[in-house]
């Protein structure tokens, strides 16, 4: 039970866990890494940060950037995990919280699969342990009848446990984490025993800004986390490179035979998202109303990916205005009344006025918005 052993995936899984997808990079980093590693870490904090932000190793291996953004934020996150403080990644939807959490667990513990998905229905058993009821009824509580949850498994193996959407979990269930984080112990009263965390154990939680207030974290719990707020990308260029990189790798794994050379299309999609999200055009001249929908980088990624699929299967293989228009409409107009009016205004006042955006204007107009019908 000392080394985590996630099962080897079949060749055709739709989405491999990060530790498999990037196994070659992780192995090259481990080989090149001569810095001290905290107990049970597969890599040193320096190598983990390089894995996240990308770089070129002395042997020439290129490490692709996973997170595009501030190096300091990632250093703070990694440094916190090397202490006894847990890490809370906070931010608006689509700011790569889950993505970073998965990559951190993959790089540090070699296993990103010890995950609790937080919902309003998450119970204490999901965090701690449950029972195999057949064994429990037949033989009473015993170690064999105990079904450890992800946190307990991480404690036993000295790995990272991930808790997604922490703030959606009911407050009393969240509180069961306090003992785990402060005492590093999980009591099992039924067996009159406990599990003590081995060195290397820690927790990465993610939480969405917008859920705040639903079940605000108790201060007792919050104190045990280092909070790192992941921001929306600073600049248009940063966001364009995030979308380009993610779409290329998604397109490759879906084997979409389409051409992504059309960077200009990505730039336009990202521009639309940023302008509507920020309520102002990129030149700062026109203020806009923002729709109710979350227009994060994640939405831009899915608009371009669906455009890629449309172009591959029903178009000429090159992503154009025509292929992204429907995705844009779907991403922006979530509320058929208010958002449709906002979209319509945006098309008329901004898109229409840009000479080189004529094709996008027409493609969007051809779809209608619902406001005119």
- Residue 201, classed as helix, strand or coil, is coil
- Rounded Cα gap, residues 292 and 147, in angstroms: 42
Q: Which does 67 bind (CB under 5 to 8 A by kind): ligand ATP, Mg ion, none?
A: ligand ATP
Nearest distance from C-beta of residue 300 to ligand ATP, angstroms: 9
**Closest among 205, 200, 166, 323 to 258, alpha carbons compared:** 323
Nearest distance from C-beta of residue 265 to ligand ATP, angstroms: 18
Nearest distance from C-beta of residue 96 to Mg ion, angstroms: 8
**Which CB sits closer to ligand ATP, 69 or 291?**
69
**Closest among 90, 64, 89 to 78, alpha carbons compared:** 89
How many angstroms separate the Cα of 198 from the Cα of each of 108, 169, 223? Answer: 15, 26, 22
**Helical segments of the chain, H only:** 18-21, 23-32, 45-53, 71-81, 97-109, 124-127, 133-139, 150-157, 171-183, 219-222, 236-253, 263-278, 297-314, 321-332, 338-346, 358-367
Residues that bind ligand ATP (CB under 6 A): 67-69, 91, 93-99, 206, 208, 233, 242, 246, 297-298, 301
Q: Which does 228 bind (CB under 5 to 8 A by kind): ligand ATP, Mg ion, none?
A: none
**Which CB sits closer to Mg ion, 42 or 98?**
98
Q: Which does 208 bind (CB under 5 to 8 A by kind): Mg ion, ligand ATP, none?
A: ligand ATP
Determine the interface stretch with Mg ion among 55-63, 93-101, 170-178, 271-279 (rule: CB under 5 A): 93-101
How many angstroms separate the Cα of 344 from the Cα of each of 229, 281, 327? Answer: 33, 15, 15
- Contact call for residue 98 and Mg ion (CB under 5 A): yes
Size of the site for Mg ion (CB under 5 A): 1
**Which CB sits closer to Mg ion, 98 or 262?**
98
As a whole number of Å, the end-to-end CA separation of the chain is 63
Q: Which does 113 bind (CB under 5 to 8 A by kind): ligand ATP, Mg ion, none?
A: none
Binding region for Mg ion (CB under 5 A) = 98
């Amino acid at each position: 039970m000392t080394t985590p052993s996630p099962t080897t995936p079949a060749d055709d899984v739709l989405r491999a866990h990060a530790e498999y997808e990037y196994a070659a990079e992780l192995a090259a980093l481990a080989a090149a890494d001569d810095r001290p590693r905290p107990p049970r870490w597969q890599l040193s904090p320096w190598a983990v940060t390089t894995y996240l932000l990308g770089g070129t190793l002395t042997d020439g291996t290129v490490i692709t950037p996973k997170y595009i953004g501030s190096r300091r934020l990632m250093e703070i996150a990694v440094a916190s995990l090397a202490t006894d403080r847990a890490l809370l990644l906070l931010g608006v939807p689509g700011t790569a919280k889950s993505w970073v959490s998965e990559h951190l667990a993959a790089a540090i513990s070699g296993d990103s699969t010890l995950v609790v998905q937080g919902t309003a229905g998450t119970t204490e058993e999901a965090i701690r342990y449950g029972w195999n009821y057949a064994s429990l009824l037949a033989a009473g509580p015993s170690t064999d009848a105990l079904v450890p949850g992800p946190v307990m498994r991480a404690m036993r193996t000295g790995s990272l446990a991930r808790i997604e959407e922490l703030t959606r979990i009911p407050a009393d269930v969240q509180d069961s984490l306090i003992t785990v984080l402060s005492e590093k112990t999980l009591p099992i009263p039924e067996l009159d025993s406990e599990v003590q965390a081995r060195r290397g154990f820690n927790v990465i939680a993610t939480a969405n800004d917008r859920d705040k207030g639903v079940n605000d974290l108790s201060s007792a719990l919050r104190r045990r986390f280092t909070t790192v707020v992941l921001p929306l990308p600073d600049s248009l260029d940063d966001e364009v490179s995030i979308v380009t990189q993610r779409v290329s790798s998604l397109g490759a794994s879906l084997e979409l035979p389409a051409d992504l050379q059309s960077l200009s299309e990505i730039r336009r999609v990202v521009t639309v998202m940023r302008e509507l999200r920020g309520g102002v055009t990129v030149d700062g001249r026109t203020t806009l109303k923002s729709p109710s929908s979350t227009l994060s980088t994640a939405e831009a990624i899915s608009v371009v990916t669906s455009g890629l699929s449309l172009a591959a299967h029903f178009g000429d293989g090159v992503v154009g205005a025509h292929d992204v228009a429907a995705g844009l409409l779907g991403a922006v107009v979530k509320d058929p009344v208010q958002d449709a009016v906002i979209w319509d205004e945006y098309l008329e006042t901004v898109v229409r006025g840009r000479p080189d955006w004529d094709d996008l204007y027409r493609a969007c107009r051809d779809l209608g918005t619902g406001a005119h019908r």
